[in-house]
Amino acid sequence: MGRARLGLTGPWGERALGLLRRRSADGTRTLAVLLLVAGLAAVAALLTPAALATPLPDRGILPLPVLALAFTAAELSVRYLRVRRHATTLSLSELPLTMGLALTDPATLLVARLIGSLTAFVGRRQAPVKILFNTVLALTETVATIVLVRLLAGGASVLEPRGWAAVVAALTVVAVLGRAVVHVVVLLHEGTSERRRVLTDSGAVAARAATCGVLGLAASVVLVADVQAGFLLAVASVLVLAAHRRYAVLAESHERVERLYRFTSLTSTAGTVDAVLATALGESLSLLRSEHAEVLLLPRAPGSEPTGAVPVGTRLCVALREDDPVLRPGTLQEADPLVADVLLAGHTGLVIPRRTKHARHRRFLDSYGLRDAVLVPLWSEGGVAGLLLVADRPGAVRSYGDEDRLLAESIATQTGLALAAAHVVDRLQHDSLHDALTGLANRSLLNRWLADAALDGEEREHRPAVLLVDLDGFKLVNDTLGHARGDELLASAARRLEGQAGRGGRVARLGGDEFAVVLHDEAEADVLARAGRMSRALQQTVRAGDLSVEVGGSIGVAFLADGAGDPSDVLRRADAAMYDAKQAGGGVRCWTPGSLGPEAGLGADLRNRPLGRARR
C-alpha cells in the first residue's frame, strides 16, 4: 500500500512514516539489548557460585548500609563520555568495590552493590531498560572481579602486595570489558561505532579503575590499622567525590567549547545557505546529543533578495535526523502557539523536558511526536530570521536543561551569522549568473544550460533546441524615447518570452536586445510552433511610459544534436538562422543540418520557415 493510500504525503506524512520506522527500529534495538542483558545475567549466575565458594575474609569493618551508601554516592558522581551522540558514564564505583573486597564478605558486597547501584540509577531517572542493563552489568562486573581477584591472588590476602596487584589488575580488566559491553549496546543502537573513541574511552576507563583500586586499597589498609581513621577517610572521600564531580562538569564544558569552536569553523566555511543548514543541523545533533533537529526560516524582508532569486514571502523548513543523513522537509509551523511565543520573545529560548507537566508543552511534544525539545530563535541580519529546534535526546543521560538552552542559543547565533554570510554569497553568485535588468540568466549560465542539455539530450527522445531572439525596432525606441523606456521594453520582452517558453523552457539575455531560449524534449514541430507564438507575443503593443510601442522579433532556431560540438556552435547556428529571419523582415527561421559548412557563408542554404512576422 503506497503513501498516498495511507494519506502519508507531504512533511507530516514523512514525520508519520519516520515515527513508524523509529518505533519499529526502537523495538528491535530494545529486544537486542534485552538479549544482551540476559547473556550478562547468565554469566553472573555461572560465576556467582565460584565467587561465594571461597569467601574473602570478613573483617566486619564495613557494614552493608555504609557500603551500599558508598556505591550510591559513587554512581551519582559520574563523568559523562560521549559515544557518537550518546553518553556513557565514568563513575568511581571501583573505590567502594575495592574496599568491599578487603573489608567484607562477597555476599554482603554483592547485596550492597545491588542496593547502592539500583538506588543511584533510579535517582538519575534512567529509562527502565537502561536501569535493568546497568544493574545487571554492575552485578556481573562485581562477581567477575571477585572471581578474578581470587584467581590472581593465589590465596594471598587482598591486603598483601600480591593481593594489591591482583585487585588492581582485576579491576582494570573487568572495567575495560564492561566498557566494551557498553560500546556493543551503542553499536546495536546505531549500527556503527567510532573505533578511535572506543580506544580512547578504554584507556580512560582503565586509568580510572586502576586509580580507584589503589586509593581503595590505601583506605582499607588505614581502616584495618585504625578504625577511628574512618572519619578522616569519610571526609577525604567526600572531598574526592566533590572534586571528581567538579572535574566532570569542567571536562564536559571544555569538550562543549571545543565542539562549538569546531562548529563555528565549519559553518563559517560552509558557503551556501543549504550547506550552512546541513552543517548547523548535523552539529546540533552532535553537540546537544539529540536525534532530531529542525530549522524554520521565515520569509525575508522585501529587498533582501536579488531579482529573480527565491521570491520574498517564501519560507523554508528543513529537518535532519541522526539515522538519516539527508535533509528532509520539516514540519514546524510558525502559527504554532509555542513557536510563535519563541519567535516573538526573540531573546531567549524554551526548554521542554521529557517529563514536563505543562499542558501546552505536552501538547506540543505530542503533536510533533517528540520526547523533549529545545526551541531557540534564529537571528540573522538584525532580526529574528527563524527558529532552531533540537529534540529527542536519548534517555541515557538526562533531558534538556538551561545549559542546553544556552548552548542551543550559541549554535543559533552562529548559524544566523553564517546564514547572513551565505545570503551574501548566494546574492553574489546569483548576480554573477543573471542579468541585472531582467533577472534572466546571462551568457555564462546559458553556456551551463547548453552543456547540461547536451548531456541530457543523449537520453531524451527529442533533441534540445536553442532559440535566439533579436528585437526588431528596439534601437529606434531606445534612441528616440531614451534608455529608461528602452529598459522597460526589454523587461517586458523578457516576461513575454518567459510566458511562452513553457514549464521546461529557460530564457536568458545575452546582451542588448538579444535573448536566448533553451527548450528540452520537444518535437521539432512543437519547437517551431512555440517559436511562432513567441514571435507573435513580441509583436503585441508595449507601454513605454505614456506611449504605446510596437516592436517585433526575429527568431533563429537550431537543435543541439545537429553536429554542434560545443555551446558556441549551436549558438552560432541559431544566430545565422536569426540573421536570415531579420533579413527577411522578421519571423522564425530554422537552421538545417548540412546547410552551413566551413566554406559556406552565414545564412547560406537556410530552410525558410516563416511562422510569424513582426509589425514594422
Position 507 confidence tier, pLDDT thresholds 50, 70, 90? very high
Looking at residue 147, what is its pLDDT?
92
Tens-digit pLDDT profile for residues 251-273: 667 777 777 777 777 677 767 77
Average pLDDT over residues 536-559: 82
C-alpha cell at 3: 503513501
Q: Which of the pair, 190 or 341, is modelled with greater confidence? A: 341
Give the residue from 239, 232, 250 showing the smallest Cα distance to 403: 250
CA distance 270 to 288: 20
Bigger pLDDT: 567 or 74? 74
Ramachandran category for residue 322: left, alpha or beta (phi over 0 → left; psi -120 to 50 → alpha): alpha
DSSP bridge partners of 434: 441
Q: Name which of 45-49, 84-88, 139-143, 599-603 the model is least confident about.
A: 599-603
Beta strands (DSSP E) in 502-584 are: 506-511, 514-519, 542-544, 547-549, 552-559
**346-379 burial code (b ≥16 CB/10 A, e <16):** eeebbbbbbebeeeebeebbeebbbbbbbbbbbb
Residue 166, pLDDT score: 92
10-53 and 161-190 helices, crossing angle to 10°: 160
Confidence at residue 78, expressed as pLDDT on a 0 to 100 scale: 62
Measure the CA–CA gap between 173 and 147, rounded to whole angstroms.
12
| Range of weakest confidence among 10-19, 39-48, 342-351, 531-540 | 10-19
CA 193-195-200 angle, 5° bins = 115
Residues 6+ apart with CB under 8 A from 254: none
CATH top-level class of 443-590 = alpha beta
What pLDDT does 388 receive?
A: 92
| CA–CA distance, 232 with 236 (Å, rounded to integer) | 6
Report the chain's mean pLDDT, rounded to a whole number.
78
What proportion of the chain, given as a percentage, has pLDDT over 90? 18
Rounded Cα distance, 493 and 496, in Å: 5
| DSSP per position, 102-121 | HHS-HHHHHHHHHHHHHHHH
In order of 301, 329, 339, 344, 383, the CA distances from 298 in angstroms are 9, 14, 12, 13, 11
If DSSP codes are grouped into helix, strand and coil, which group holds residue 324?
Answer: strand
Q: Which of 143, 215, 153, 127 is nearest to 178 (CA)?
A: 143
Q: What confidence score (pLDDT) does residue 86 get?
A: 46
In angstroms, rounded to a whole number, what is the distance separating the alpha carbons of residues 253 and 264?
16
Residue 111: which pLDDT band, with cuts at 50, 70 and 90? very high
523: left (phi over 0), alpha (psi -120 to 50) or beta: beta
Give the phi and the psi of residue 432 in degrees, each rounded to 5.
-70, -15
Higher-confidence residue of 398 and 207: namely 207
- Residue 205 grid coordinates: 576507563
Q: How many CB atoms lie within 10 A of CB 225?
A: 10
pLDDT at residue 191, rounded to an integer: 54
Kind and range of the H or E element at 148?
helix 128-153
Cα dihedral across residues 178, 182, 185, 191: positive or negative: negative
Judged by average pLDDT, the poorest of 162-176, 293-307, 422-436, 500-514 is: 293-307
Question: What local confidence, expressed as pLDDT, does residue 60 receive?
Answer: 64
- Residue 17's pLDDT is 46
Mean pLDDT, residues 328-345 taken together: 86
Average pLDDT on 214-229 reads 83
Q: Phi-psi bin for 78: left (phi > 0), alpha (psi -120 to 50), beta?
A: beta
| Residue 140 binned pLDDT confidence (cut-offs 50, 70, 90) | very high
Measured CA to CA, the distance from residue 484 to residue 480 in angstroms comes to 11
DSSP letter for 96, please. Answer: H
What strands lie across the sheet with 292-297, from one edge to the other? Answer: 324-329, 316-321, 292-297, 383-391, 373-380, 350-352
All residues at 6 or more sequence positions from 524 whose CB lies less than 8 Å from its CB, including other chains: 462, 463, 465, 559, 590
- Whole-number pLDDT of residue 308: 41
What are the sequence ranges of the domains in the chain?
Answer: 32-226, 276-429, 443-590
Closest CA to 284 of 197, 426, 411, 429: 411
Which pLDDT band holds residue 595 (cuts at 50, 70, 90)? low
Sequence-distant (≥ 6) Cβ neighbours of residue 362 within 8 angstroms: 356
The whole-angstrom distance between residue 506's C-alpha and the CA centroid of its chain comes to 33
Quick check: pTM over 0.75? Answer: no
Going edge to edge, which strands form the sheet with 552-559?
506-511, 514-519, 465-472, 552-559, 587-590
Residues in the chain: 616
Backbone torsions φ then ψ of 596, nearest 5 degrees: -135, 105
Q: Which long-range contacts (CB under 8 A, 24 or more apart) does 565-568 make?
A: 567/446, 567/447, 567/450, 567/451, 567/454
Residue found under cell 562485581: 142
Strands 587-590 and 552-559: parallel
Q: Is the pLDDT of residue 614 over 50?
A: no
Return phi, psi of residue 466, to 5°.
-120, 130
The x, y and z cell numbers of residue 45, run together, are 549466575
CA quadruple 561, 564, 567, 568: dihedral positive or negative? negative
Q: Decide if 81 contacts 90 (C-beta within 8 A).
A: yes
Cα–Cα distance, 141 to 41 (Å, whole number): 11
In 3-state terms, what secondary structure has residue 335? coil
Contact 289, 86 (CB under 8 A): yes
pLDDT at 7: 39
Is residue 244 very low, low, confident or very high in pLDDT (cuts 50, 70, 90)?
Answer: low
Which CATH architecture describes the domain 276-429? 2-Layer Sandwich (3.30)
* SS3 state of residue 86: strand
Residue 492, all three cell numbers? 517586458
- The radius of gyration computed from the CA coordinates of the chain, to the nearest angstrom, equals 37
Average pLDDT over residues 315-337: 83
Q: What is the CATH number of domain 32-226?
A: 1.10.1760.20
Q: What is the number of H-type helices and E-type strands within the chain? A: 18, 15
